[in-house]
């Protein structure tokens, strides 16, 4: 576990030193800021549900952008060869990348607390429980998207392709609610269960349902395991 | 100690390593020599655990690699051929990162850092981003990374590629020092390098180990005959009676000069030949003005062992093959160690 933290620390520091991180940060915050200020007065309610939904949609671009390089860059630069010869388990490499991306996500979500502050300042009758569980929900969904992004990055050497693949898989989970009305009822219920929006809904309401939590955790674990498997498979490395 | 037993690796139809076996003991510097694509890197990668062998065993300190690859990884230092580095990291941060992942304890890190920085001459660039380093410094950083945890086994894949002559001397010096107490395996397609550094040479070609010998034995392995060039003053002389009388000597070449003629013979017994020939020349009242013995250089051996026209049967000492091969011109022994 220690080694995973060492990798995470190195990744996080490298991200903070890189200009592209700040560009992605800024774009994310500007977009969510604009959308927030456009909608907050229309709705006129002291809740953050719409903010969470909007953060959820920006994830589609933001998370593939921060995870696209995680393993793809190590592969194209050859540094994966070095990592695989260190006394590390493949799982620790993947875990390190995951923790680093999650930390970046937490950082940027902390920046959105400004919106929460605005609501807090001007709003009345705020449901603190719903806001807390909403934040937990988007963090868990974020974790699942990060796992998807790392999986995509483990398949591709090219960062752009990794981004596109992560985007497509994420879009499936994010947008499958959109096509629900077009589907027959039997299939619709399956798609509804798969979609992240459905599971996030109860978080927004302030309900912590173990089914939703387990759903996000299993998606996260599943994609991380697939990423690990991929690294072993692709490198034909000695089992460790 | 590294033991390799019947190791094979196939990529699809390509047999990259074919039934290779050898043992490398502690304190040995072993050169892994072969043309590009011979299977050197694949073998090293299998020893580091980066690739799983298709068949065969790798024992590191008598423990099979697949039983505990992490334990093996702890005692191996590896410099990959491409020397991959994180360009956005500082040299110091990079070494610290690798040392932490290599489980070097915090208290030991400063000492180890001190050691590698001094040995690899990295002091001036310690605070520089790796991306801004020259090829030579990059290679030294890669080497520093490979030895930061004081490994028992050091695997270096083409360690001096891309370095200038001064840097090559420094790196060789370092490898030689490391070789006193550790097992060092270095791969190279450069003969001079292997010749200058290694105690033992393993030649690999198309996945097969075709020679494994102490450095100085290797030319003898292939060729027990040597060439002698004799310079006789004046015009050409009749040699037939001598050649009939002493059948061991075979005339290989006659090269007329301005004032003399150069005769080149292949022989087995140098002293006996010289004595006999001197007597013969005296009989014929001719003056010998020069005599030079050539032994086969490692380069010739390498060329012969790996050249595609030869098959395995011809690898054993076989005077016919050697005698009629014009491909490799023997070099003077004196110029060999340059």
Across residues A22-38, what is the average pLDDT? 87
Q: How far is B145 from chain A (nearest CA, A)?
A: 10
With an 8 Å Cβ cutoff, are A79 and B76 in contact?
A: no
- More confident of the two residues A90 and B326: A90
Q: Over the stretch A103-115, which tens digit does the pLDDT of each residue have?
A: 999 999 998 888 8
Would you call A180 exposed, middle or buried from its count of C-beta atoms within 10 A (0-12, 13-18, 19+)? middle
Distance CA A6, CA A12 (A): 10
Which H or E element spans position B197?
A: helix B191-197
Distance CA A92, CA A37 (A): 41
Distance CA B96, CA B79 (A): 17
pLDDT value of position B319? 35
pLDDT value of position B225? 62
Which residues of A sit within 8 Å Cβ distance of B? 3, 6-7, 10, 14, 17-18, 77-89, 235-240
With an 8 Å Cβ cutoff, are A240 and B69 in contact?
A: yes
pLDDT band, residue A144 (cuts 50/70/90): very high
With an 8 Å Cβ cutoff, are A82 and B48 in contact?
A: no
With an 8 Å Cβ cutoff, are B101 and A86 in contact?
A: yes
Which stretches of chain A are DSSP H helices? Answer: 2-17, 19-43, 49-67, 69-77, 79-85, 90-111, 113-122, 128-155, 159-175, 185-194, 196-204, 210-235
Q: How many CB pairs under 8 A join A and B?
A: 80
- Cβ neighbors of A9 (< 8 A, separation 6 or more) are A100
Query: What 3-state class would DSSP assign to B284?
Result: coil
Structure tokens belonging to residue A178: 């959109």
Task: Name every chain A residue with its beta carbon within 8 A of the beta carbon of B74.
Answer: 87
Does B49 contact A at CB distance below 8 Å? yes
pLDDT value of position B295? 65
pLDDT value of position A216? 94
Whether the CB-CB separation of A153 and A67 falls below 8 Å is answered with yes
Beta strands per DSSP E along chain B: 2-11, 14-24, 29-33, 55-60, 63-64, 76-79, 153-157, 183-188, 200-205, 208-214, 226-233, 250-256, 260-267, 288-294
pLDDT band, residue A168 (cuts 50/70/90): very high
Across residues A90-114, what is the average pLDDT? 93
Nearest partner of B19 among B218, B222, B204, judged by Cα: B204
Q: Over the stretch A14-23, which tens digit does the pLDDT of each residue have?
A: 999 889 889 9
Between vectors from CA B58 to CA B52 and to CA B62, what angle results, nearest 5°?
Answer: 145
- Per-residue model confidence as pLDDT tens for chain B (338 residues): 888 888 898 888 888 888 889 888 888 889 888 877 888 889 998 888 888 888 888 988 888 888 888 888 888 999 998 889 999 899 999 999 999 999 898 889 999 999 999 888 889 999 999 999 988 889 889 989 999 998 989 999 988 877 788 878 888 888 888 888 788 998 887 777 787 888 888 888 888 888 887 877 766 655 556 778 888 888 888 888 888 888 878 787 788 888 888 888 877 777 888 888 888 888 888 888 888 887 666 666 666 666 654 344 444 443 333 333 333 334 443 333 33
Distance CA B32, CA B205 (A): 10
Whether the CB-CB separation of B76 and B48 falls below 8 Å is answered with yes
Across residues A208-226, what is the average pLDDT? 94
For residue B21, the tally of other CB atoms under 10 A from its CB is 13
pLDDT band, residue A229 (cuts 50/70/90): very high
Q: State which residue of chain A sits closest to B79, comparing Cα positions.
A: A82
Distance CA B92, CA B110 (A): 11
Alpha-carbon distances of B305 from A1, B194, B199, rounded to whole Å: 49, 16, 19
Does B73 contact A at CB distance below 8 Å? yes
Global pTM value? 0.78
pLDDT value of position A236? 64
Which member of A6, A77, A80 has the closest CB to residue B100?
A6
Q: What is the CA radius of gyration of chain A?
A: 19
DSSP secondary structure of A150-165: HHHHHH-SSHHHHHHH
Whether the CB-CB separation of B143 and B186 falls below 8 Å is answered with no
pLDDT value of position B274? 87
Which member of B50, B85, B93 has the closest CB to residue A84?
B50
Q: How far is B51 from chain A (nearest CA, A)?
A: 4
Would you call A92 exposed, middle or buried from its count of C-beta atoms within 10 A (0-12, 13-18, 19+)? buried
Task: Name every chain A residue with its beta carbon within 8 A of the beta carbon of B145.
Answer: 82
Distance CA A149, CA A66 (A): 8
Report the length, in residues, of chain A.
240
Strands B260-267 and B250-256, by their bridges, are: antiparallel
Beta strands per DSSP E along B25-136: 29-33, 55-60, 63-64, 76-79
Task: Name every chain A residue with its beta carbon within 8 A of the beta carbon of B127.
Answer: none
Distance of CA A137 to the CA centre of its chain: 11
Structure tokens belonging to residue A132: 């807390």
Distance CA B99, CA B103 (A): 6
Q: Over the stretch B102-117, which tens digit does the pLDDT of each residue have?
A: 989 888 999 999 999 9
Distance CA B288, CA B297 (A): 26
């Amino acid at each position: 576990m220690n080694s995973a933290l060492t990798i995470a620390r190195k990744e996080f520091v490298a991200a903070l030193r890189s200009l592209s991180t700040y560009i992605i940060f800024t774009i994310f915050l500007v977009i969510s800021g604009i959308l927030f200020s456009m909608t907050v007065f229309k709705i006129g309610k002291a809740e953050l549900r719409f903010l969470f939904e909007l953060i959820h949609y920006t994830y589609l671009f933001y998370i593939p952008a921060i995870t696209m390089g995680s393993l793809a860059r190590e592969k194209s630069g050859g540094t994966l060869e070095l990592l695989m010869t260190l006394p590390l388990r493949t799982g620790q490499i993947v875990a390190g990348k995951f923790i680093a991306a999650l930390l970046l996500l937490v950082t940027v979500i902390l920046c959105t607390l400004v919106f929460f502050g605005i609501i807090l300042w001007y709003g009345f009758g705020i449901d603190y429980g719903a806001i807390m569980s909403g934040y937990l929900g988007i963090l868990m969904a974020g974790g699942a998207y990060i796992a998807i992004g790392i999986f995509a990055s483990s398949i591709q050497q090219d960062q752009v392709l990794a981004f596109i693949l992560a985007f497509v898989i994420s879009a499936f989970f994010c947008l499958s609610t959109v096509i629900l009305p077009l589907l027959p009822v039997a299939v619709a219920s399956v798609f509804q269960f798969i979609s992240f929006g459905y599971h996030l809904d109860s978080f927004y309401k302030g309900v912590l349902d173990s089914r939703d939590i387990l759903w996000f955790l299993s998606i996260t674990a599943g994609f991380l395991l697939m990423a690990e498997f991929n690294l072993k498979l692709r490198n034909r490395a000695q089992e460790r | 100690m590294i033991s390799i037993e019947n190791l094979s690796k196939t990529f699809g139809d390509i047999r990259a390593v074919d039934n290779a076996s050898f043992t490398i003991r502690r304190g040995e510097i072993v050169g892994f020599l072969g043309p590009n694509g011979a299977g050197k890197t694949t073998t090293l990668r299998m020893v580091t655990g980066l690739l799983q062998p298709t068949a065969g065993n790798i024992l590191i300190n008598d423990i099979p690699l697949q039983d505990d690859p992490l334990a093996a990884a702890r005692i191996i230092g590896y410099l990959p051929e491409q020397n991959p580095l994180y360009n956005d990291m500082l040299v110091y941060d990079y070494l610290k990162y690798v040392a932490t992942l290599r489980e070097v304890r915090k208290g030991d890190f400063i000492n180890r850092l001190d050691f590698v920085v001094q040995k690899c001459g990295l002091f001036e660039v310690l605070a520089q981003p790796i991306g801004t380093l020259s090829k030579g410094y990059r290679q030294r950083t890669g080497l520093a990374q490979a030895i930061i945890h004081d490994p028992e086994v050091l695997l270096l894949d083409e360690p001096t590629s891309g370095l200038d002559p001064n840097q090559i001397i420094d790196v060789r010096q370092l490898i030689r020092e490391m070789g006193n107490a550790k097992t060092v395996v270095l791969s190279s397609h450069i003969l001079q390098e292997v010749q200058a550094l290694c105690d033992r040479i393993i030649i690999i070609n198309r996945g097969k180990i075709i020679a494994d010998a102490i450095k100085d034995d290797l030319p003898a392995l292939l060729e027990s005959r040597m060439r002698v060039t004799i310079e006789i003053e004046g015009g050409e002389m009749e040699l037939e009676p001598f050649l009939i009388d002493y059948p061991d000597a075979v005339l290989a070449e006659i090269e007329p000069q301005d004032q003399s003629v150069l005769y080149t013979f292949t022989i087995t017994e140098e002293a006996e030949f010289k004595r006999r020939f001197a007597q013969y020349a005296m009989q014929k009242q001719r003056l010998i003005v020069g005599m030079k013995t050539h032994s086969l250089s490692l380069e010739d051996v390498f060329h012969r062992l790996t050249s595609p026209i030869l098959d395995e049967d011809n690898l054993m000492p076989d005077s016919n093959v050697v005698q009629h091969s014009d491909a490799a011109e023997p070099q003077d022994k004196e110029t060999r160690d340059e």
